């Protein structure tokens, strides 16, 4: 509203446009001028092919189109054995390991590669299996926590974690262990700082970092076996 010379003058126009299913376009205009209300309305026939066009376009954009997934046969080495799976290649490695192959030692944590509970070794390198597609594993060598240890003996990393009680609920431990195993295999002389740096991306929700660091120091010192005091 505009005030001028003590007199109230001004206008406000509001326009509404509706497209009905009966093929009629209704246009309404309301005008307020000099404190008087003036309303007009008009009805205009619409070409049948144009009636409801905006509505149909809206539904066309919003309708979810079905995605046809085509399975693919993927072969790889898993814990030293040849493995073949038939799956949608876009599925995560984590999903296939847990749901199809029943290897549940690899844990689902965040699903975004941030907590690293799902870490496995792909060609000896630690990777987040929740961010790796099953297709990426094709033709490669894969190792999970179930593949560690031989003849009933734990891997040295597992042994140290057990002795130092570097676990509470244990959910993050498979990822921690696999990262350290991969690091030690790549560099037998890896030091404490390098191991700590490699574990920086791992999250222990129980906050058991004190004992995890004890285990790392034991591994760095080269004495994974704790002496028994009698």
pTM for the model stands at 0.68
* All domains in the chain, ordered by first residue: 2-58 (no CATH), 72-147 (3.10.20.30), 156-221 (1.10.150.120)
What tokens were used for 9? Answer: 């003058």
Q: Would you write out the chain's pLDDT as a tens digit for each of its 230 residues? A: 333 444 444 555 555 444 444 444 555 555 555 555 555 555 555 444 444 444 444 444 545 555 556 899 999 999 999 999 999 999 999 999 999 999 999 999 999 999 999 999 999 999 999 999 999 999 999 999 999 988 889 999 999 999 999 999 999 999 999 999 999 999 999 999 999 999 999 999 999 999 999 999 999 998 666 654 44
Euclidean distance between CA atoms 176 and 204, whole angstroms: 9
Query: What single string gives the DSSP state of each residue in 49-110?
Result: TTTTHHHHHHHHHHSPPP-----EEEEEEETTEEEEEEE-TTSBHHHIIIIIS--TTSPPS-
- What pLDDT, on the 0 to 100 scale, is given for residue 176? 98
Euclidean distance between CA atoms 221 and 81, whole angstroms: 33
**Is the distance from CB of 54 to CB of 19 less than 8 angstroms?**
yes
**Backbone dihedral angles phi then psi of residue 37, each to the nearest 5 degrees:** -100, 120
């Amino acid at each position: 509203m505009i005030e001028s010379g003590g007199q109230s003058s001004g206008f406000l126009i509001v326009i509404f446009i509706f497209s009905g299913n009966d093929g009629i376009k209704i246009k309404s205009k309301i005008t307020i001028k000099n404190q008087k209300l003036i309303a007009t309305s008009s009805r205009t026939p619409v070409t049948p092919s144009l009636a409801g066009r905006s509505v149909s376009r809206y539904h066309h954009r919003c309708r979810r189109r079905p995605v046809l997934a085509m399975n693919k046969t993927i072969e790889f080495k898993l814990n030293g054995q040849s493995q073949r799976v038939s799956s949608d290649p876009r599925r995560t490695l984590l999903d296939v390991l847990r749901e199809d192959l029943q290897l549940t030692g690899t844990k689902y944590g965040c699903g975004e590669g941030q907590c690293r509970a799902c870490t496995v070794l792909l060609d000896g390198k630690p990777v987040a299996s929740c961010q790796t597609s099953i297709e990426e594993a094709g033709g490669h060598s894969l190792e999970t926590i179930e593949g560690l240890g031989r003849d009933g003996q734990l891997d040295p990393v597992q042994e140290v974690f057990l002795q130092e009680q570097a676990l509470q609920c244990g959910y993050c431990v498979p990822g921690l262990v696999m990262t350290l195993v991969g690091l030690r295999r790549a560099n037998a002389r890896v030091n404490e700082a390098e191991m700590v740096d490699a574990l920086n991306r791992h999250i222990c929700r129980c906050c058991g970092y004190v004992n995890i660091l004890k285990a790392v120091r034991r591994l760095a010192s080269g004495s994974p076996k704790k002496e028994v005091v009698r």
